[in-house]
Amino acid sequence: MPRNRIAIILALSFVAAVCAANAQESPTDQLALAWREYGLQAFSTANDLFADVAETAQGETRWQALLGQAQIVHYQMPGRDPEEAIPLYKALLAEVGDKAEWRGQVLARLADCHAELVPVQIDKARELYREALVTLPATSLMVQETALRFLATYLQRPDRAEIARGLKVSDEFAEQMAGTPFASVFHGLRAEMAFFTDNYRALAAALDQQYRAGINNVSVKEGVLFRLARLYEVELGDYVKAEAYYRQLAREVPSSRKAHFAILRADELKAGKLDSDYAPPLSPQVEDATRKEQP
């Protein structure tokens, strides 16, 4: 038998064996494989597997498959298409009924779509985020994630009054963010709102809370502590706190390029020397340089 015919037969046998194996897999096994392929960014393969599961499975296994298909269209397919994902999420929403965790999750993803459309549909997005927050169980960590996405809509437009409203709205979420993995991000978001509205006391409070909530990224911690030191020194005139934050920066991020300056400036402030030998004279313009230091 010619070698090429042998190769073809072997290849067909292998494909048949794989198909038979897949046919014997349970929908749960296929779903796990689909999410694994999704994680490996093999989205075309994942989408085919999700489609197979959606055809044969019922209940939450089917919902997971439908969610996977919607997320591929929404986030992963070339071009990302939130508009095309909306009917997929709506169809899933109709299936999950009053299952709170599922309904809240799908509502939040629908809100994401409206927030990402061009032109953006902010009001519709906020309405859906609010509905998701009311629907989700209070113990779900998706509550905090959804709240952050909701608050981020207030930073989507360069509107000072809108951002100020967002800062005020964020107050209602402060208690439920405390002690969660989202606390530092929440306070960082509040800091940006305060910054863009020139609310320096709110900015200082938010940055301090962001720092105290815990910052794992060294460069972010460096930026937050330096902003706090300069903010208290230049805008708020509290030199005791400014000195403390400079020393905190030098102590916690000794490898920082700002650490040496922080020690020198802290020593100057302790000695009552307001006009530094190492920095420009104190004036409102000095803060302009620190505005580039984003947390």
H helices of 98-199, in order, are: 100-116, 122-135, 142-152, 160-170, 174-177, 183-196
* Residues 184-203 pLDDT 10s: 999 999 999 999 999 999 99
Residue 9 lies in a domain: no
Quick: pLDDT tens for 203-222.
Answer: 999 999 999 999 999 999 99
Q: Does 122 reside within a domain?
A: no
CA distance 155 to 189: 9
In-domain check, residue 173? yes
Hunting for tokens 């803060």 — which residue is that? Answer: 287
Residue 16 lies in a domain: no
Same domain membership, residue 210 and residue 165: yes
Note the pLDDT tens digit of each residue in 143-156.
Answer: 999 999 999 999 99
Amino acid at 33: L
- CA–CA separation, 226 and 262 (whole Å): 8
Q: For residue 293, what pLDDT is reported?
A: 41
Cα–Cα nearest to 249, from 274, 276, 222, 231 = 222
* Residue 192 and residue 256 share a domain: no
pLDDT of residue 289: 41
Q: Is residue 267 part of a domain?
A: yes
**Cα–Cα dist 90/82, whole Å:** 12
What predicted TM-score, i.e. pTM, was given to this entire model?
0.83
What is the domain extent for residue 210? 161-214
Identify whether 277 is part of a domain: yes
| Domain identity same for 280 and 237 | yes
In angstroms and rounded to an integer, the radius of gyration of the C-alpha atoms of the chain is 26
Write out pLDDT tens, residues 132-146: 999 999 999 899 999
Residues 294 and 235 in one domain: yes
242 located within any domain: yes
- From 173, 190, 214, the end of a domain falls on 214
Phi and psi angles of residue 201, each rounded to the nearest 5 degrees, phi first: -70, -40
Contact 163, 155 (CB under 8 A): yes
Same domain for 286 and 235? yes
Domain count, the chain: 2
Tokens standing for 206?
Answer: 């938010």
pLDDT of residue 165: 98
Residue 70 falls inside a structural domain: no
